[in-house]
A and B are shown apart, each in its own frame.
Chain A
Amino acid sequence: MTTELDHPFIGKYLRPEVMPHVMCPGCGNMSIANAFIRAVDKLYGSFENFVFVSGIGCAAWIPSPHFLADTVHVLHGRPIPVATGIKLANPNLQVVVISGDGDLAAIGGNHLFHAARRNIDILVILVNNYNYGMTGGQLAPTTPLGARTITTPYGNPEEPFDLAELMVHAGANYVARWTIIHTLQLESSFKKALQMEGFRFIEVLSPCPTRYIRWNLEKYEQLLEFYKNNTIYVNIARKKGVEEGKIVIGEFIVRDRPGYIRRYSELRKKAIDLWRREKE
Chain B
Amino acid sequence: MSEFVSVSEIFPPGKYLLMGNEAAGIAALLANCKFFAGYPITPSSEIMNFMARYLPLVGGTFIQMEDEIGSIMAIIGASWAGLRAMTATSGPGFSLMQEGIGYAVMTETPLVLIDVMRVGPGTGQATKAAQGDVMQVRWGRHGDQEIIAIAPSSAQEMLDLTIKAFNLADQFRVPVILIPDEIVGHAEEIVRVPSEDEVKIIERKEPESVADPHFGGDGIKIASFPTLGKGFNVLVTGSTHNEKGYRKTQDPEVHRRLAWHIVNKIRKNRDKIVSFSIEGDADANIGIVAYGSVYRAALEAIQIGREKGLKISVFRPITLWPSPDRELRKFAENLDFIIVPELNTGMYVLEVERITRDIVPVYQLNKIGGGIPIYPEEIIDCIIKITKVK
For the complex, count residues of A whose C-beta is within 8 A of B: 39
CA distance A73 to B63 in the complex (A): 22
CA distance A48 to B231 in the complex (A): 7
CA distance A191 to B60 in the complex (A): 31
* Least CB distance, B171 to chain A, in whole angstroms: 20
Contact B233–A86 (Cβ < 8 Å): no
CA distance A65 to B82 in the complex (A): 22
User: Once A and B bind, how many residue pairs between them come within 8 Å at the CB atom?
Assistant: 140
Count class of interface residues, chain B = 35 or more
Is A64 among interface residues, defined by CB-CB distance under 8 A? yes
CA distance A88 to B76 in the complex (A): 12
* A82-B56 contact in complex given A71-B235, A72-B228, A75-B238, C-beta closer than 8 Å: no
Is A17 among interface residues, defined by CB-CB distance under 8 A? yes
> Which of B61, B76, B99, B229 is close to A82, meaning CB atoms less than 8 Å apart?
B76
| Interface membership of chain B positions 46-77, coded 1 if the CB is closer than 8 angstroms to chain A and 0 otherwise | 00000000001101010101110111011111
* Least CB distance, A223 to chain B, in whole angstroms: 29
Q: Which residues of A contact B236 (CB under 8 A)?
A: 70-74
Contact A272–B3 (Cβ < 8 Å): yes
Is A3 among interface residues, defined by CB-CB distance under 8 A? no
Q: Which residues of B contact A272 (CB under 8 A)?
A: 3-5, 56-57
> Which of B77, B100, B235 is close to A53, meaning CB atoms less than 8 Å apart?
B77
Q: Which residues of B contact A85 (CB under 8 A)?
A: 35, 37, 73-81, 85
> Which of A69, A82, A267 is close to B233, meaning CB atoms less than 8 Å apart?
A69
Q: Which residues of B contact A83 (CB under 8 A)?
A: 77
* A68-B233 contact in complex given A85-B85, A272-B3, C-beta closer than 8 Å: yes
Contact B229–A75 (Cβ < 8 Å): no
Contact B34–A89 (Cβ < 8 Å): yes
* A30-59 at interface with B (beta carbon < 8 Å): 48-49, 51, 53
Q: Which residues of A contact B66 (CB under 8 A)?
A: 110-111, 114
CA distance A201 to B254 in the complex (A): 37
Q: Which residues of B contact A89 (CB under 8 A)?
A: 34-35, 61, 77-79, 81-83, 85
Q: Which residues of A contact B232 (CB under 8 A)?
A: 70
Contact B70–A110 (Cβ < 8 Å): yes
| Interface membership of chain A positions 105-127, coded 1 if the CB is closer than 8 angstroms to chain B and 0 otherwise | 00000110010000000000000
* A74-B73 contact in complex given A86-B78, A110-B66, C-beta closer than 8 Å: yes
CA distance A136 to B246 in the complex (A): 24
> Which of A17, A74, A271 is close to B57, meaning CB atoms less than 8 Å apart?
A271
Contact B239–A82 (Cβ < 8 Å): no
Is B311 among interface residues, defined by CB-CB distance under 8 A? no
Contact B228–A81 (Cβ < 8 Å): no
* A74-98 at interface with B (beta carbon < 8 Å): 74-75, 78, 81-90, 92-93
Q: Which residues of B contact A114 (CB under 8 A)?
A: 65-66, 70
Q: Which residues of A contact B234 (CB under 8 A)?
A: 70-71
* Least CB distance, A184 to chain B, in whole angstroms: 29
Contact A75–B103 (Cβ < 8 Å): yes
Contact A81–B70 (Cβ < 8 Å): yes
CA distance A64 to B246 in the complex (A): 9
Is A268 among interface residues, defined by CB-CB distance under 8 A? yes
Is B345 among interface residues, defined by CB-CB distance under 8 A? no
A–B pairs, 30, beta carbons within 8 Å: A53-B77, A64-B237, A64-B247, A68-B233, A70-B228, A70-B229, A72-B80, A74-B103, A74-B238, A75-B100, A78-B69, A81-B65, A81-B69, A84-B37, A84-B65, A84-B74, A85-B37, A86-B228, A88-B61, A88-B74, A89-B61, A89-B79, A89-B82, A89-B83, A90-B228, A110-B66, A267-B56, A268-B56, A268-B59, A272-B57
Using CB atoms and an 8 Å cutoff, list the residues of chain A in contact with chain B: 17-18, 48-49, 51, 53, 64-65, 68-75, 78, 81-90, 92-93, 110-111, 114, 264, 267-268, 271-272, 275-276
